[in-house]
Structure 1
Amino acid sequence: MPLLYPHDYDTTHELVARSSDLTPNATQRTTLIIAGCYIIIIGILWHVPYLNLIIYPFKLLTVGFHEMSHAFMGVLTCAHIHSIELDPDEGGATTMSGGIPWLTLPAGYLGSGLIGAALIACGFDTDASKVASLVLAVFFLFTLWWARRNLLTWVLLLGMSGLIVLFWFVKGGVALRYLVLFIGVMSCMYVLWDVIDDTIARKVNSSDASAFAKICGCFPSQVWGVIWLLIAFCFFILGVLVGIIAFKETAAEQAEDAKHFLPTPGTSSALALPVAAPLALLAGGLSSAALALL
């Protein structure tokens, strides 16, 4: 008969505890159901004429994430970013000199997929959604600087910034949480669709994957497309798992915490006025930057 040592028991208990972390509570199940509805709604609107105009701004936003990821990887590899452009046909281009192409080229798909996954995870919690919104605002400012000559990018990002600020004030930030979740789901879905459409289905010669294939020479662009697709899908799943594991608070607990963390003006919290200041500064900073760069 095998002996049960104390460390054996601890390991078993730890494994049980860890597995329970993956079991969503009632609030998380609601979030998962809403995320599933988002997937269905986005899938329908994507292919229905005229109705697809509803999600058109969010499509452009995900294109912005794609180009922004190229640019930030370029900065990290010492490239000089000349410009970022978005066009009404849901395309985009980032012009840079220098950098490391075998890092900057896949950064568009993988970076926007990672951003989407992070937003999905933050969409499980109100306070995390507030932090994600502030981080997005910083990214928007950098992108506006690089795209200062592209009017469409200005209209899109300033409009999205206004929408985020508006949703921040609805029900103490609950609406913001579902907006962040929607943007995350949209970004991940767009990455998956874009990789398939550009590299696997249509075999576009001018895609990031085709340029990457010319540099590496190991596989054709379709193979790189499949690899990037699998990585992007893993990001999607990882975002959901992180959200389930990291944010276990119920809706009531999140609402209470939201009163003390970057609360909206007018809440009963004593910290409301001083802590709400970053939000006011954020809105003012976006407006000031817009006027200065124009």
Structure 2
Amino acid sequence: MAPFLIARQTENDTIRDAFTPTEDQKIILIIIAGYTGAILLLWNMPIVKIILAPFKLLTVGLHEFSHAFVGCLTCARIESIEIDPDEGGATRMQGGNAMCTLPAGYLGSSAIGAILVMCGFNILASKIASIFLGTCLLLTLWWAKNWLTRGIGIAFIGVMLLLWYIAHGVGLKYFVLFMGVMSCLYCLWDILDDLVFRKAYESDASKFAELYGLSSRAWGVIWFLISVLFFAAGIIVGLVAFKEDRETQERQAEGFGW
């Protein structure tokens, strides 16, 4: 076979190997599917849905944090972040660039979710992701103005600290993966809820449409598709980047942190 064809075949094999899941990654993909199914099943089930309530509130916090963080990047003054028991939230700020801050809630929380999903393929990456998530929660605490927002932040920081020490962070890996899936799905559901089922009279998309044209449904569709791409990208990058088996992951994670 000619050298060019050999090189091309080797390149094709490398690409195929990169996207072919290992046995450990197959388990992660099954877990992602299981998380997705369980979340969708429990979402609106009477009584049982209370199991998801704390995680829903955390994802609301990430949504509001994303508004605030992008607001800071566009020179806004953040006045407060609040989460309410009905799984709503509000970020109050002065100034900033509305073109960036309005879509930041949906797209920012879905991007955070995608990062967590990606890191959920690897224990060491999950530890790093938990530091990232903890930092987001600490900043949310800084801006929080009610006890529910503070309580959610403190509770989940405590959970991550506890899981950090269990079996070199294996439990943390599955927690990070779950929160990634939860954040991505919550963002997608929130867009549908606000813009398709029309449970909200006013949404980030409706405000965006008033300022920049098109309809709120059009912007909702655009943001929905971007969020789906984020979720898919998190899975794909995780598959390509983290090929280590569990034993290797545990050795890597054992020397990281306290």
TM-score by length of 2: 0.96
% identity of equivalent residues: 50
Who is 1:38 aligned against?
35
Structure 1 residue 258 corresponds to structure 2 residue 253: yes
Map 1:194-209 onto structure 2 (within 5 A): 194-202=190-198, 204-209=200-205
Q: Structure 1: give runs of 5+ residues left out of the alignment.
A: 263-275, 277-294
Q: What is the CA distance between 1:146 and its match in structure 2?
A: 0.6
Map 1:1-294 onto structure 2 (within 5 A): 6-7=3-4, 9-147=6-144, 149-202=145-198, 204-217=200-213, 219-262=214-257, 276=258
2: CA distance, partners of 1:134 / 1:145:
16
2: CA distance, partners of 1:252 / 1:27:
10
> Is the contact made by 2:62 and 2:136 (CA closer than 8 Å) also made in structure 1?
no
Instruction: Count how many residue pairs are aligned between Structure 1 and Structure 2.
Output: 258
1: CA distance, partners of 2:247 / 2:170:
11
CA deviations on 1:204-248 (whole Å, 9 max, x unpaired) are 33100000000101x110011011000000000000001100110
> Is the contact made by 1:203 and 1:222 (CA closer than 8 Å) also made in structure 2?
no
Give, as a single letter, the amino acid of the residue that structure 2 aligns with 1:238.
A
SS of match in other structure, 1:165: helix
SS of match in other structure, 2:196: helix
> Is the contact made by 1:200 and 1:226 (CA closer than 8 Å) also made in structure 2?
no
Q: CA RMSD in A?
A: 1.3
Q: What is the CA distance between 1:13 and its match in structure 2?
A: 2.4
2: CA distance, partners of 1:54 / 1:199:
26
Pick which of 11-20 and 226-235 moved more: 11-20
1: CA distance, partners of 2:22 / 2:237:
14
1: CA distance, partners of 2:58 / 2:4:
51
2: CA distance, partners of 1:202 / 1:158:
33
> Is the contact made by 1:105 and 1:208 (CA closer than 8 Å) also made in structure 2?
yes
Give, as a single letter, the amino acid of the residue that structure 2 aligns with 1:255.
E
> Is the contact made by 2:114 and 2:231 (CA closer than 8 Å) also made in structure 1?
yes
SS of match in other structure, 2:193: helix
Q: Work out which of the two has the higher radius of gyration on C-alpha atoms and give 1 or 2.
A: 1
Q: After the TM superposition, which parts of structure 1 deviate over 6 Å for at least 4 consecutive aligned residues?
A: none
TM-score by length of 1: 0.85
Give, as a single letter, the amino acid of the residue that structure 2 aligns with 1:117.
A
Give, as a single letter, the amino acid of the residue that structure 2 aligns with 1:62.
T
Who is 1:283 aligned against?
none
> Is the contact made by 1:127 and 1:254 (CA closer than 8 Å) also made in structure 2?
yes
SS of match in other structure, 1:81: strand
